[in-house]
Structure 1
Amino acid sequence: MASQRALLPRSTPAASGMSSLAIGALLDRLEARSVECHSLMVVRQGHVVAEGWWAPYTAERPHLLYSLTKSFTSVAVGLAIADGLLSLDDRVVDVLPDHVPADISEQGSRITVHHLLSMTAGHLTDSLAEAWEIEPDDLVKGFLRLPFAAAEGTRHTYDNSTTFVLARMVERVTGRGLPEFLDERLLKPMGVDHAEWDRVKSGAAFGFHGLHLTTEAIAAFGELLRRGGVWGDRRLVPRDWLELATSRHTETLQIEDWSPNPDALCGYGYQFWMSRHGYRGAGAFGQLCVVVPSHGLVVAVTGAVTEEEAVLDPLWECLLPGVDQPESAQEDEMLAKRLRQLSLPPVPGSAEPGRSADATLDASAEGSALPGGTVVTIDPVDDGGWLVRFESLLDVEVGHGNWRESSPLGRPVVAAGAWQGDTFVADLYLVTTPHRVRLIIDAKTRTGAATWSTVPLTGPDLVLHLRSPLMTRPDVA
């Protein structure tokens, strides 16, 4: 894949006043806690001082941001407000009158842009699944139809539907699709020339999820925020909007089924989370854009992390103490060498050239990625590795001791595997997402399983996630 031009200048930790040992300690902590990171970029005073990708993830590859997408939607709202097309007091019922249910409640008719941005509309739980269930073709209408249990503006509830509604409001007042609007006003002026968007069944961008960007584009977005909306010699976003969006508007409560995390209790802005230090845009499984203005610091992270604090705690405990504590050029080079060698562990085992196998998948295991009864065949190829065929659904190339890439349905899969006795094991990384599938085939019993390491929030169907763009109505988010 062709490399993209750099969005941010490079420097060394020492030249930018950062401790390379502190960055190394951050890596040590992540490794000790078995945190699966896919990329890390540390920016100090506008310069990239550390960057690394855990193979098979690479610098030029866009990565699914999940709910970090919400922060980009917030900027789109701010741009529409700056253009005089929208205001914080505008009501959903006035901007989207064709999506208003006939039996809308009084509170539903009062919901404004401010309530949506701060997620204080009054639902007690995330309304997404229920709203889509009662209105499969109109999430805005479903959101407004659901009863509100708390008065608007009084209680924060993490609610994906609010961002979907905001996206539709931006599109209505600008006359542009959300991706096209952000491309024109934000991403392309920054030099981000490749952004992918997953979409709902109708073709509209989710708004609350679904944006794919490179790690550097995430870091550049954070740096734009830190600079107050200025990029180069151009103001792209009004400073007062970014100050408003990244300020605390409501307290936050412990969310059911979320792990306890001190940073999740620091309050919420306008589609940004407040943190113990600075603020952040955050997506499921550890997609983070952390901005700490007091330290001139931006950190971008992608990964497959089940608990956000597993990344945030090391940032505060290892990285922050290294600000304004530079070391020698020798320490910087040792860190750079370590960052160049990052890799996720490939499957151990032997190649056993010439050995084939076939099996039938059992889908009873939790997180199964393919239907039960799917026949899998494993055949060695001349240049090493294997071709794994899942009936007529897809073919995947698998390397031994190296990563091998294929794009059976549009999106890439990078895979490595090995024989472990009579068992064939392969990891299939969907490298534009946080997710991978582990394939285990028992050659003796001719049975197998293909299970997700972390099940995508838009459902377990592997075939769906290999198509570009992904188009679905999510079950959960």
Structure 2
Amino acid sequence: MFEYVENNNPNDLHGLLIIRNGHIIAEKYGWPYNETYPHNTFSVTKSLTGAITGVAIEEGIVKLDDLVLDYFPDMTFENMSKEKENMTIEQLLTMTNGIDWPEWEQGPQVFYEWENSENQLQYYLDQPIIKEQVGNFNYDTGAAVVLAAIIENATGKTLSEYGHEKIFKKIGITSLEFQSTNEGITNGGTNAHMVPRDMARFGYLYLHNGKWDGEQIIPEEWVKTSTTRHTGEDSQGYGYLFWTATESDYGGIDTYSAMGARNQYIYVVPEERLIIVQTSEYYSLGALLDYIIPAIESDEALSENAEAYNRLKELMGSE
């Protein structure tokens, strides 16, 4: 695999970790990145927000069926409708609230106008809801920002403060830094930065159903629900701010992932106790999976192969 990378746009692969049975099997960084260099995770941020929301629900701070606009009693919004009045937290988690937000079709324009508005929360919630779209998946970064605002209003803490207190500090994540919207809300939708090893810690927490060193950090049921498909078609689906898939190319194994723009990934294969973390500039994870997953041969230790192992270390830059 690493020989393939050397011959196929190696500078576009910024970081790669492969972890199986709790051990780092392979780790490689491309200049100037290294294990201490925080990387923009883009929409991997959404899955972090999903985890924080699960803890807030477990603590009774918010509920799935809570109405979104009830958390902003001092604000008024344009394009009001019955559908907007009835928008719920669960719809934000599954991106099925129906708001007119053509992020995939008109991404640069949507983001430019939104990110240049004085109040991004106001801008988002002013948008009309397309009645026919309610209940159907539509990719939507603004939904995760609204979730962040709800949690901040409900807890009296920033999403970052609450998340670090309840989750990230407990599992040893130290590099994570969220960004903020123009009005000062934690951006729960994109642009959080952290090092790949901390991304791996988050994946490891989910792989172990929310438990870390014997402590249930995220409710087990929330982990299962978040990584179960609620919307989507064919083999690709969406849970609660996580992507889900059944990978037919590898025997129909079930996977889930936190995924960000330009191909940032925390990719989890529970059946194989496998975590893959990738940071990149549009590097194809699929090309690497064709090497990684078929390489899993046994649950026991493989026979020693000093020549291959030394070559692997050489390619990883660890010699």
Match 2:8 to one of 12, 27, 33: 33
Corresponding position of 1:328: 304
Question: Structure 1 residues 319, 176: CA separation in 2 closer, same or farther (over 3 Å shift)?
Answer: same
SS in 1 for 2:268: strand
Q: Structure 1 residues 50, 199: CA separation in 2 closer, same or farther (over 3 Å shift)?
A: same
Contact 2:78–2:128 (CA<8 Å) still a contact in 1? Answer: no
Residue 319 of structure 1 corresponds to 292
Amino acid paired to 1:220? R
The aligned counterpart of 1:224 is 205
Distance (Å, rounded) in 1 between the aligned partners of 2:171 and 2:177: 16
**CA root-mean-square deviation:** 2.3
In structure 2, the gaps of 5 or more residues are 248-253
Aligned-partner SS, 2:43: helix
The answer as to 2:195 corresponding to 1:214 is yes
Whole-angstrom distance in 2 between the partners of 1:31 and 1:132? 36
Q: Distance in 1 between matches of 2:51 and 2:174?
A: 18
Q: Secondary structure of 1:274's partner?
A: strand
Q: Is 1:94–2:94 an aligned residue pair?
A: no
**Counterpart in the other structure of 1:447:** none
Q: What residue identity is the alignment partner of 1:70? A: K
In 2: Cα distance, 1:229 partner to 1:154 partner = 28
Q: Which moved more, 1:293-302 or 1:319-328?
A: 319-328
* SS in structure 1 at match of 2:154: helix
Identify if the C-alpha distance between structure 1 residues 132 and 302 changes in structure 2 by more than 3 Å, giving closer, same or farther: closer
Which residue, 16, 32, 48 being the options, matches 1:72?
Answer: 48
Identical amino acids, percent of aligned pairs: 28
**AA matched with 1:300:** V
CA distance in 2, matches of 1:180, 1:47: 30
Quote how far apart the aligned CAs of 1:102 are: 5.9
2:278 corresponds to which residue?
301
Comparing both chains, which one has the higher relative contact order based on Cα–Cα distances under 8 Å and sequence gaps of 6 or more?
2
Amino acid at match of 2:19: V
What corresponds to 2:93 in structure 1? Answer: 117
Partner of 1:161: 142
Q: Determine if contact 2:17/2:27 at 8 Å carries over to the other structure.
A: yes
Q: What is the aligned length?
A: 302
Deviation of 1:132 (Å) = 8.1
Partners of 1:143 and 1:201 lie apart in 2 by 13
Change (3 A) 1:106 1:211: same
Deviation at 1:138, TM superposition (A): 3.0
> Is residue 2:228 matched to residue 1:247?
yes
TM-score of the superposition, structure 2-length normalised? 0.87
**Counterpart contact for 1:43–1:49, Cα < 8 Å:** yes
In the alignment, which residue of structure 2 is the partner of 1:48? 24
Change (3 A) 1:130 1:232: same
5 Å-filtered alignment, 1:223-372, equals 223-251=204-232, 266-275=236-245, 276=247, 277-305=254-282, 310-315=284-289, 317-325=290-298, 326-330=302-306, 331-340=308-317
Residue 115 of structure 1 aligns with an amino acid whose one-letter code is Q
Instruction: Spell out, residue by residue over 1:18-61, the C-alpha distance to the aligned partner (whole angstroms, 9 max, x if none).
Output: xxxxxxx2x23334432511111111011111111112211111
TM-score of the aligned structures, taking structure 1 as reference length: 0.59
Cα deviation per residue 1:241-277 (whole Å; 9 max; x = unaligned)?
Answer: 011111101015xxxxxxxxx9xx6011111111324
